[in-house]
Amino acid sequence: MRNRTADETQFMAEGDIASLDGGAAAIAHAEEPSPPSRMREFWRAYAQNRGALIGLCLVALLILLALGADFIAPDPPNEQYRTFTLAPPAWHADGTSRFLLGTDPVGRDILSRLIHGTRLSLLIGTISVAISLTLGAILGLVAGYFRGIVDTAIMRLMDVMLALPSLLLAIAVVAILGPGLVNAMYAIAIVLLPHYVRLARAAVIAEARREYVTSSRIAGAGALRLMFATILPNCAAPLIVQATLGFSNAILDAAALGFLGLGAQPPTPEWGSMLASALEFIQRAPWVVTFPGLAILITVLAFNLTGDGLRDALDPKLRRS
């Protein structure tokens, strides 16, 4: 019992409504040109936004870099060329084309470390958003579906988590778990959690009163089926948008934790910890600090652009809070 319903329009543009009611409506409008598919319609709305396109291209490029880091990076990330410590970038008067973006204080190629860092950053983003989204959607669904004391308990807990500034909460979690890349991911997943819970809960409460849910319930669907198979797909849009924007938060917070020495530990080529470990050379060799930061900025910008574009294309009514 999984009828397409008008409520799925959250995913679609207005023009699609005609195709939604399934068989009957489609026959009635058979002579009209068939409306574009959902995917095409979505893509048209998305592609109108130039910023979103740029963001998507950047994200694709970053994924490519992350996947192919071993082949693309000119050097292994931790290989130390002791005769080339703090070599400036290639375009600098004293630079060498051997190391395009220069080398760090122990002679490691910065470009190679940055490329390998892409892999880490995207991994941190993927894992922490995945944990947070899954857990958040479940908690939100449960809270919004059952209401009552379960709802109150979950939402009060989320309020407590939201009362702490995000970085502070992450630091508190790392203080408990101990510093390190993996613990930083857990910390970030916890920090991001309340946003997903709130979104999922709000969407469930809005959807649960709709007729398609009632009809599904009358047809005998159990609570689990109603929550996950009937309601969840219809609240996917805001969650998808939040997940994309969550990527940028995750990457920023991971870099901040790395910078504070609480995230990835040296010699891991994580951008934030690369920046921190080169701090004392900032005056003599500004490039050791400039490029990792630029990498963070570009990556975060790419995900923000993509997220904004997705939000506008999926649902013009959604606004970033």
Partner 1 sequence: MFGFVLRRVALIVPTFVGVTLLAFALIHLIPGDPVENLSGERGMDPERRARLLHEFGLDRPLAVQYASYVGQVLRGDLGSSLTTHESVAREFATLFPATVELAFFALLFAVVVGLPAGILAAVKRNTAADYTVMGLSLTGYSMPIFWWALLLILFFSVQLGWTPVSGRIAVQYDVPMTTGFMLIDTLRAGDMAAFRSALSHLILPTIALGTIPLAVIARMTRSSMLEVLREDYVRAARAKGLPRWRVIVVHALRNALIPVITVVGLQVGLLLSGAILTETIFSWPGVGNWLIHGVQSRDYPVVQGGILLIAAIVITVNLIVDMLYGVINPRIRHA
Contacting positions for partner 1 (CB under 8 A): 51, 156-157, 159-160, 162-168, 171-172, 174-176, 178, 248, 252, 255-256, 259-262, 272, 275, 279, 282-283, 286, 289-290, 292-293, 296-297, 300-301, 304-305, 308, 319-320
From the CB of 203, what's the least distance to partner 1, in Å? 20
What is each CA distance from 229 to 1, 76, 234, 235, in whole angstroms? 10, 46, 9, 11
User: Which is nearer to partner 1, 115 or 275 (by Cβ)?
Assistant: 275
From the CB of 303, what's the least distance to partner 1, in Å? 8
From the CB of 271, what's the least distance to partner 1, in Å? 8
How are the residues of the chain apportioned to helix, strand and coil, as percentages rounded to the nearest 5? 70, 0, 30
User: Which is nearer to partner 1, 82 or 319 (by Cβ)?
Assistant: 319
| Residue 81, phi then psi, degrees to nearest 5 | -100, 90
From the CB of 139, what's the least distance to partner 1, in Å? 15
User: Which is nearer to partner 1, 231 or 251 (by Cβ)?
Assistant: 251
Residue 190 CB contacts under 8 Å (≥ 6 apart), including other chains: 132, 161, 169, 170, 173
Residue 114 CB contacts under 8 Å (≥ 6 apart), including other chains: 101, 269, 271, 274, 291, 292, 295
User: Which is nearer to partner 1, 35 or 292 (by Cβ)?
Assistant: 292
State how far the Cα of 154 lies from the Cα of 201, in Å rounded to an integer: 10
**Quick one: residue 102, left, alpha or beta (phi over 0 = left, psi -120 to 50 = alpha)?**
left
| Residue 188, phi then psi, degrees to nearest 5 | -70, -40
User: Which is nearer to partner 1, 266 or 293 (by Cβ)?
Assistant: 293
User: Which is nearer to partner 1, 12 or 256 (by Cβ)?
Assistant: 256
From the CB of 141, what's the least distance to partner 1, in Å? 22
Helix and strand totals (H; E) in the chain: 13, 0
Token pair for residue 181? 């890349």
User: Which is nearer to partner 1, 72 or 294 (by Cβ)?
Assistant: 294
User: Which is nearer to partner 1, 121 or 234 (by Cβ)?
Assistant: 121
From the CB of 236, what's the least distance to partner 1, in Å? 24
From the CB of 176, what's the least distance to partner 1, in Å? 5
From the CB of 304, what's the least distance to partner 1, in Å? 5
**210 contacts 266 by C-beta, under 8 angstroms:** no
The contacts found for 225-231 with CB under 8 angstroms, 24 or more apart, are 226/145, 227/141, 227/142, 227/145, 228/141, 229/2, 230/2, 231/141, 231/145, 231/203, 231/204, 231/207
